[in-house]
Chains A and B, each alone.
Chain A
């Protein structure tokens, strides 16, 4: 049997890599990919906790399904925004899209 902490450590590392991508990437699509990595790490955590702590009640899986739903909605809207920005400003570099900065 695999110890629970292995899953949690891998999920923590994946979350941190995704967070780094979201914070440090210049390309807006790269930032979205970082966010997807973070959401996946959370899903691993939810399912691991479900399997090891409450395997009889399927709450962990239900929440993982909701996270996947929200991730799908977020990716759709995010990519639509990026395509819209690219059409108007000819760039996907977030540093160049600063017209709302004062």
Chain B
């Protein structure tokens, strides 16, 4: 077994363990912290896959922005969440059944499928190639994504804003 494979297995165990903790923890704050661990391991997978730019983006956006946003929301809504509150609804066993079946099907497909692998190498200047791809072939989705982000920004401000007193 090579070093890469050992690193991968360690990352995989941490990722799956943290993800299980995210959905099972009764305390939503622990879930948020475990989610950060899981997002870090995903960045590790990106490094193993030689997508270094994406690994940096993953740490900056997911760990730096989204996880902090989630922790903020947890802090703002913590009052109602007693430690004894149930974590799952009544249909959790149906969900578990469905999820186990789905996992079995997906793993079966992944193992039996015949992937057309290529042994080409990653471009040495992958980041500049990525930038050029974004601004030539994918320039329309790129612009749409920027409009989407602007809409999300304005929408979030309007939805979460404290309403003026006279409107209530």
Cα A58 to Cα B87 in complex, Å, equals 41
Contacts A2-B48, A16-B106, A64-B54 given; does A83 touch B118 at CB 8 Å? no
B50 touches A51 (CB 8 A): yes
Q: How large is the interface on B (under 10, 10 to 19, 20 to 34, 35 or more residues)?
A: 35 or more
Q: Specify which of B2, B38, B49 is in contact with A48 (CB 8 Å cutoff).
A: B49
Q: Specify which of A54, A71, A76 is in contact with B156 (CB 8 Å cutoff).
A: A76
Q: How far is the CB of A5 from chain B (nearest CB, A)?
A: 5
A17 touches B20 (CB 8 A): yes
B102 touches A33 (CB 8 A): no
The 9 closest A-B pairs by CB, nearest first: A21-B23, A73-B152, A23-B95, A80-B160, A12-B106, A80-B156, A24-B92, A16-B103, A80-B159
B148 touches A73 (CB 8 A): yes
Contacts A21-B23, A25-B23, A51-B122 given; does A13 touch B32 at CB 8 Å? no
Cα A74 to Cα B149 in complex, Å, equals 9
Q: How far is the CB of B155 from chain A (nearest CB, A)?
A: 6
Contacts A1-B4, A51-B122, A72-B149 given; does A25 touch B88 at CB 8 Å? yes
Q: Specify which of A4, A29, A76 is in contact with B153 (CB 8 Å cutoff).
A: A76
What residues of A have a CB within 8 angstroms of the CB of B95 in the complex? 19-20, 23-24
A13 touches B103 (CB 8 A): yes
A19-35 CB contact bits vs B (8 Å, 1 = yes)?
A: 11101111101101110
Cα A70 to Cα B66 in complex, Å, equals 12
Cα A69 to Cα B92 in complex, Å, equals 30
What residues of A have a CB within 8 angstroms of the CB of B152 in the complex? 72-74, 76-77
B130 touches A58 (CB 8 A): yes
What residues of B have a CB within 8 angstroms of the CB of A33 in the complex? 22-23, 31-32, 35, 70
B148 touches A32 (CB 8 A): no
B145 touches A53 (CB 8 A): no
A37 touches B133 (CB 8 A): no
A18 touches B19 (CB 8 A): yes
A46-86 CB contact bits vs B (8 Å, 1 = yes)?
A: 01101111111111011011101111111111011111101
Residue with the greatest number of chain B CB neighbours at <10 A, chosen from A21, A36, A53, A66: A21
Q: Specify which of A34, A59, A61, A87 is in contact with B54 (CB 8 Å cutoff).
A: A61
